[in-house]
Amino acid sequence: MKELELKYGCNPNQKPSRIYMQDGSELPIQVLCGRPGYINFLDAFNGWQLVSELKKATGLPAATSFKHVSPAGAAVGLPLTDTLAKIYWVDDLGELSPLACAYARARGADRMSSFGDFIALSDVCDEDTARLIKREVSDGVIAPGFTPEALELLKQKKKGNYNVIQIDENYVPAQLEHKEVFGITFEQGRNELVIDDEFFANVVTENKEIPESAKIDLAISMITLKYTQSNSVCYVKGGQAIGIGAGQQSRIHCTRLAGQKADNWWLRQSPQVLGLQFKDGIGRADRDNAIDLYIGEEYMDVLADGVWENTFKVKPEVFTREEKRAWLDQMTDVALGSDAFFPFGDNIERAYKSGVKYVAQPGGSVRDDNVIAACNKHGMAMAFTGLRLFHH
């Protein structure tokens, strides 16, 4: 197949729309089910690059959950703890394959943002992963292959209209890439930067200790940022992104946004949240929304409106600001990456509130000394990578 006609472009009024290879060669994909759209393919191709690089960097199966050309979550296939399985709503599925664990983590990091996602998988989609995907609200999935059992499950989704794309894992794109804006063609070399241990060798803080586990988390952070709309920062813990701040004009707003998502991920693991008793028949998305309200400042308003009566078996006690802070203070050893330099130490101060201990950023600000001093104040280890990772 050398060309694929799409229903429309970014919006229904943008026609005609298609994908094709400029050199006239075959497209490196097969659509096995559904009819993916313009934005679906943008998410699919960016997501595929991300998980491919995560797999190369860590040796582990990887997954990402994309929304509007930025990842909502990304992770590698480490086993799930009982607590993580519970907050990701997969504790009823038994022991999952490494690939399924990767997607459960990628989806679970920010379940509200992942609602209606496009999934990318580094490995052949197996039955465990397909069973997990089948019951979530999602637009589609791209992978290098699908087992017969997995494909059969996915073809049942959305009344047979779920988007399933198989990509040639040996496809290598041209070194020059192009796009048009306002009728004008832009050309640049592909960002083929390899992120490995050496990327974090220049540690500029008093604390020089970055253990191997933290280097893996920093690599996950930076690879995720490589395919996230800038400005962006990414918090990572235990092999998965736990907070991604994308597309903000101010870096401190990225840090706050991602930090709040990381905080919510940790608060979901608190005894107060784990003890919530939902009424029978409440779906996963509705439970996610209820938890988000419960851990937010709006909960008093929700209680006043009596919304809890439609969701919970038992009226939950207020999760006080002091209780939340005490629980958040237990989150430690978080890694933080930034796609460009931190211009002020306020980013470090905000990151510290979310348990950040390891930082990677390009450096090069006129206030680098201020940022380094903020890290030293909190005993953080920070590496200057010397390379920006903007993505637009």
User: How far apart, in Å, are the Cα atoms of 357 and each of 57, 155, 289?
Assistant: 21, 44, 30
Q: Which is catalytic among the residues 56, 68, 86, 353?
A: 68
Please pick, among 40, 55, 67, 347, the residue that the annotation labels catalytic: 67
147 φ, ψ (degrees, to nearest 5): -65, 155
- Using alpha carbons, select from 162, 165, 103 the residue that is nearest to residue 137: 162
Q: Which among 340, 71, 52 is positioned nearest to 171, based on CA atoms?
A: 52
* Strand boundaries in 113-255, DSSP class E: 117-121, 138-143, 163-167, 176-181, 184-189, 232-237, 240-246
67 is catalytic: yes
Identify the active-site residue in 13, 159, 170, 392. Answer: 392
Cα–Cα distances in Å, from 7 out to 4, 37, 131, 341? 10, 7, 28, 40
**392 labelled catalytic:** yes
Q: If you write DSSP's letter for every residue of 356-380 in order, what string do you get?
A: EEEEEE----TTHHHHHHHHHHTT-
**Do residues 242 and 265 touch, judged by C-beta distance below 8 A?**
yes
Provide the H-helix boundaries in 3-122: 38-58, 82-87, 98-108, 111-114
Is 163 noted as a catalytic residue in this protein? no
DSSP per residue, 203-240: B-SS-----HHHHHHHHHHHHHHHTSPSSEEEEEETTE
β 70-76/62-67 pair status: antiparallel
The set of residues, in sequence order, having a beta carbon less than 8 Å from that of 229 and lying 6+ positions away, is: 69, 70, 246, 247, 391, 392
CA distance 58 to 134: 27
Q: State how far the Cα of 133 lies from the Cα of 97, in Å rounded to an integer.
A: 13
Could you say which of 40, 46, 163, 231 is catalytic?
231
Residues with catalytic roles: 67-68, 231, 392
